[in-house]
Structure 1
Amino acid sequence: MGIYGTDLGYTNIYEQNQDGVVYLSSIKELADELNIGQFFDFNTIKRLATNSSNLDSLLLITTKNFNDINSYLQEQKRANLSILLLTGGWLEALHIAEQVYQENPESEALREKIGEQKIILENIMLLLSFYNDDPDIAKLETEMKKLADIYAEVEIKYTHGESSFKEVDGVLTIVQETTSEILMSDEQLKKIIDITSEIRKNIIS
């Protein structure tokens, strides 16, 4: 469901509105199966999804829906579903970034963003380990470990600059200038892209 939610946002941004309706139908079906369909006013969302002038409103509504669902699942002691939703959304966002990068291989900014996902993936793997007594999460953890193993080879080098003072809301604050450099070979990047696609395919198949 996290994957379809991310895809809905992506199709909205690029005004592929009919594709958005298809993803919306998938989200509705999954939401009903998980007993969280009450968080979606599907008639309103469908109306907004077919009108490009309403894309900002649609993105706001879908983002709020997923935040509400996450809070609800936590309250209902269904954190395992919340983690699956989070992981699916992150994985699809990574997949989209990789597809855009492949179309624009000269973009160093995108390459860096893909490399920086190592940090988030480490946190996701930690969350999955807390709930791997759930068979679905255990299976997902096994899949995600393939990606984590490749990302483990990626190095993020931090350089700490000189400290400076900056006034924030009337308070003098010390600011530490820190830059980072992603050390990731073309071969490592290709493996990350390939494994992301493989995991995504396994999830939605």
Structure 2
Amino acid sequence: MAEIRHWREWGMATMKWSLSTIILLFSLTGCRQSVAPATPVWESAIEPSPTLNDTQHRVTPTDPVSESTIGEFGIYLVRQEISLEQMRETNLSELELEDSPILSVDDIVTYDWETHEIQLTDSASERVTRLEGSMLGGLPFAVCVGGEPVYAGAFWTSYSSAVFDGTVIDVYPAKFGQPVPVQLGYPSPEWFAGEDLRSDPRIFRSLAEAGKLQ
């Protein structure tokens, strides 16, 4: 009986030890699998990923490009042998002009934008009146801004009996220190045919920047 009791007690102890071991193993397994709860993140704290449209709107605009200063106003004689009729049919870019202007912006005292009359300096007035001998049939010129032709015409003198349907600069008043008109047609505007380019914005800007407009 004593031996049976001994084995029974030993069996009970073994079962308790086994149960304790199993409980310990489950506890250890549960600890390994448990994960610390994630810290809650408020939605407002999340920086949304920018979309293509967002990035396009966020592009910093470039500084406005300032319009470059326009070139100087100048009136150039036509170098090539060409009649007024031929000049009217010739592309402006094909005209061969003298290297230096016969009248530069420095030769202008004032330019009346409403009447297109030019008050020249004394030296410029003398210069153009010396050309009168070759003006009876018109002396071709091109009005340029920054070296680029804007329109073509002819120097003229009031005592010429010829007629012209283009733009004319009558130099005769320069003899008396009077403004020279840039007029349409000669002897009167009724003779003019074509487009009036005297008020081209490039000419306006150039003369305005030079302080010559009146």
Q: TM-score range by the shorter chain?
A: under 0.3
Structure 1 or 2: more helix by fraction: 1
Structure 1 or 2: more strand by fraction: 2
Q: So what's the TM-score if we normalise by structure 1?
A: 0.24
Q: So what's the TM-score if we normalise by structure 2?
A: 0.23
Find the structure with the greater CA-based Rg. 2
